Amino acid sequence: MTLRSHAGSSARAGGASRTAAKLARSIPEATVARLAVYLRILGELAEQGADTVSSEELAAATGVNSAKLRKDLSYVGSYGIRGVGYEVVPLHHEIERTLGLDQKQAVALIGVGNLGHALAGYGGFGGRGFPVTAMFDVDPDIVGIRINGILVDHVRDISAVCAARGVTIGMIATPGSAAQAVCDQLVDAGVECILNFAPVVLQVPDRVEVRKVDLAVELQILAFHVARRRVAGTDGSEPAKGATNGSVVLPR
Amino acid sequence: MTLRSHAGSSARAGGASRTAAKLARSIPEATVARLAVYLRILGELAEQGADTVSSEELAAATGVNSAKLRKDLSYVGSYGIRGVGYEVVPLHHEIERTLGLDQKQAVALIGVGNLGHALAGYGGFGGRGFPVTAMFDVDPDIVGIRINGILVDHVRDISAVCAARGVTIGMIATPGSAAQAVCDQLVDAGVECILNFAPVVLQVPDRVEVRKVDLAVELQILAFHVARRRVAGTDGSEPAKGATNGSVVLPR
DNA sequence: GCTACTTTGTGCGTGCCTTCACAAGCGGCT
DNA sequence: AGCCGCTTGTGAAGGCACGCACAAAGTAGC
Ligand SMILES: NC(=O)c1ccc[n+]([C@@H]2O[C@H](COP(=O)([O-])OP(=O)(O)OC[C@H]3O[C@@H](n4cnc5c(N)ncnc54)[C@H](O)[C@@H]3O)[C@@H](O)[C@H]2O)c1
Ligand SMILES: NC(=O)c1ccc[n+]([C@@H]2O[C@H](COP(=O)([O-])OP(=O)(O)OC[C@H]3O[C@@H](n4cnc5c(N)ncnc54)[C@H](O)[C@@H]3O)[C@@H](O)[C@H]2O)c1
C-alpha cells in the first residue's frame, strides 16, 4: 500500500461509485477546509521529526472526530498503513497536491490601510504558497511605497498588473463603499477567486468565487452565545452535554 | 460550490442542548450567522429610509435563497406582512434583540502587533456593540501605549482587568506559539467566548466557545478551487454557480 | 506460519440544513 | 363588499455531513 502508484491520480480505490472520469472526484467543501488544518499540523509534526501519526493523534491535535478525519483523508487517497498510522511526510505532500498547493498562487491585495498593512506584512501567506505579488490603493500617500519589496500600485492599473503577474486570487481590504467597484475590476482582470474583508455582499458573475471574512459577524455569533448562556444560566437548567446538537436555545 | 456558506466554525463547546427551558427557542447555528448579515443590510436600508423590504429583495442583497431567508426570519418571529414584505426598522430591532446585541459585550484584545493594531483601530466593532475595552501584550514597547484612549496592559494582568471591565469576549492575535497560554489565562479570567486569529487549535474546557479565523485556510480553499477549475477547464465540466458565503468553517 | 493486536477505510443510520411548492393572509382595486 | 395579485410562513422532500461500528489489512510476537 505504501508504494502505490504515484504519478497516477490514484483514482480512489475499489468499486468507486463515482462515475470515475479522470478527476471528477469531488471533495466535500467541509473536508477541504479541514484538510488545510491537517496540513498545518502535519507540517509541524514533520518538523519535529515524527515519522507516522495515527488518526487518533491527528484528530486530537486538530480537534476533530477521528472517524471524520479518516474519511477526509480517504478523499485524498489511501496513504495510511493499517496497524500503524499515516506516514507524515507523504501524507503532507499528498494533501498539498490535492489542495493544489503545489502550484503557487499569486495573490493581489487591494486596499493597503490598517488591515491591508497587516495582511501585506504577514509572513504566513508567502510561506505557505501564497505570495502577495501585487498591491493596490488610491491614496497618493500609499501608492508608490514598498512593502516587503513589493510596490503599491494605483488601482487603475489592476487589470494590467494582475494580468502581467498572473494573479489568481484577490484580497479586498478597502472600505465597504469601494469594495464592489474594486471587485468588478478584479473580475475584469480575470481573477476568479476573491477573499473579501469588506462588510458588503459582493455581486459577481457565476464563474467567480467569493469567500468573505466578516469579523463583525463572528463577534455577533459569539455575542449571541453569551446572551444565550446568560439566560440559560438564570433558569438553572443545566447546560448539559447532550447531543452535539448544533442548535441553540434562546429566550423569547 | 461557491455557495457553501456554512458558518459553523467554532468549537461546539459546552453542549448547546435543548433543555427545554420554558421560554426557549432553538435557532440553527447556520441561521444565526446569516441573521447577522441580514442585520447589516437592514441597517443600510433603514438609513436609506426604506420602509419595507420583501424577502426577495433582501435575499438578493444578502446573496441567499429567499425561502431560506424567510425560514431564518421565522425563527425571530413573524414580523412580515403578507403581500407587502417586512418592516425594516422593527425587523432590524427584533433581530438585534434575538442576537443579544441589545446588551453590549466588552471585548478584550490580546496581542497588539500588526493584526492587533488593525483590530484595535477598527471602528466597525465599537459601532456595532463590541467596544474593545481592554488590550494586552508582552512587548514593553507596546505595553503602556494608548489606542483610541485604551491603555495596553501587560498580559499578566489579564485576569484582573478582564474581571474589572466585565469582558465577555476575547480576541487572540498573538503569535501561534503564545496562543494557548493566552487562551488559558482568558479562560481562568472567566471569559467563555474566544475569537482566535492564531493558526493553532486551542484546547479549552467544554463550556468555552472558540471561533477561529484562519486566513491561510481561506486562501487554501480558494487555491483548491483555482486548481480544480483549471483541471475542469480541460474537460469542460461546469464551473459552479456563484453567490456569497457567510463565514469561516472550522471543526473542533 | 499462525495468532493477537492495532489502526485504517467505509457502509450505514441519523439528523441538520436547504429548497421547493403552496396554502394562508393582507392590501388594493373595482 | 368581494375579488385579485402579491408575499409570507411552513410542511415535506432531498441532500449532505457526521459519527458509529466493524471488516479488512497490516504489524508484532512466538
Ligand atoms: N481593520 C480591521 O481590523 C478590520 C476588521 C474587519 C473588517 N475590516 C474591513 O476591512 C476593510 C479595510 O479596513 P481598514 O481598517 O484597513 O480601513 P482603512 O481605511 O485603514 O484602509 C482602507 C484602505 O483602502 C484604500 N482605498 C479606499 N478606496 C479605495 C479604492 N477604491 N481602491 C483601492 N483602495 C482604496 C484607502 O486608501 C485605505 O488605504 C474595511 O472594509 C473594513 O470594514 C477591517
Ligand atoms: N498579520 C496578518 O495579516 C495575519 C493574518 C492571519 C493570521 N495572523 C495571525 O495573527 C497573529 C498575530 O499576527 P501579527 O501579524 O499581528 O503578529 P505580530 O508579531 O505583529 O504581533 C504579535 C503581537 O503579540 C505579542 N505577543 C507575543 N507573545 C505574547 C504573549 N504571550 N501575550 C501577549 N502578547 C504577546 C507581540 O508582542 C506582538 O505585539 C499570528 O498568530 C498570526 O499568525 C496574522
What are residue A106's DSSP bridge partners?
A: A167
Specify the pLDDT at position B234.
60
Between residues A61 and A21, the one the model is more confident about: A61
d(CA B186, CA B155): 10
Residue B117: count other Cβ atoms within 10 Å of its Cβ.
Answer: 20
d(CA A202, CA B244): 7
Cβ <8 Å between B99 and A223: yes
Three-class SS of residue A88? helix
Q: What is the pLDDT of residues B26-58, one digit of tens each?
A: 899 999 999 999 999 999 999 999 999 999 999
Query: What is the residue-wise DSSP string for A162-222?
Result: HHHHTEEEEEE-S-HHHHHHHHHHHHHTT--EEEE-SSS-----TT-EEEE--HHHHHHHH
**Residues whose beta carbon lies within 6 Å of some atom of ligand 1:** A 110-116, 136-139, 142, 155, 173-176, 178, 181-182, 197-199, 215; B 118-119, 122, 124
Specify whether the CB–CB gap between B174 and B182 falls below 8 A: yes
- Domain borders along chain B are 2-98, 107-213, 215-252
Q: Topology of domain B2-98, per CATH?
A: Arc Repressor Mutant, subunit A (1.10.10)
CA torsion, points A239, B214, A109, A112, in degrees to nearest 10? 60
Give strand ranges (E) for A55-147. 80-81, 85-87, 106-110, 132-137, 146-147
Nearest to residue B217, comparing CAs of A186, A79, A29? A29
Q: What is the pLDDT of residues A122-155, one digit of tens each?
A: 988 877 889 999 999 999 999 999 999 999 999 9
**pLDDT greater than 80 at residue A110:** yes
Confidence of residue B124 (pLDDT cuts 50, 70, 90): confident
Nearest to residue A195, comparing CAs of A208, A213, A174? A213
Q: Topology of domain A107-213, per CATH?
A: Rossmann fold (3.40.50)
Q: What stretch of H or E contains A151?
A: strand A150-154
Q: Which of B25, B29, B229 sits opposite A246 (nearest CB)?
A: B29
Shortest alpha-carbon distance between residue A58 and chain B (Å): 12
d(CA B97, CA A231): 13
d(CA A69, CA B192): 27
B198 lines ligand 2 (CB under 6 A): yes
Write down the mean pLDDT value for chain A. Answer: 84
Distance, Å, A82 CA → D25 C1'? 6
User: Considering only alpha carbons, which residue of chain B is nearest residue A206?
Assistant: B242
Nearest to residue A99, comparing CAs of A38, A152, A147? A38
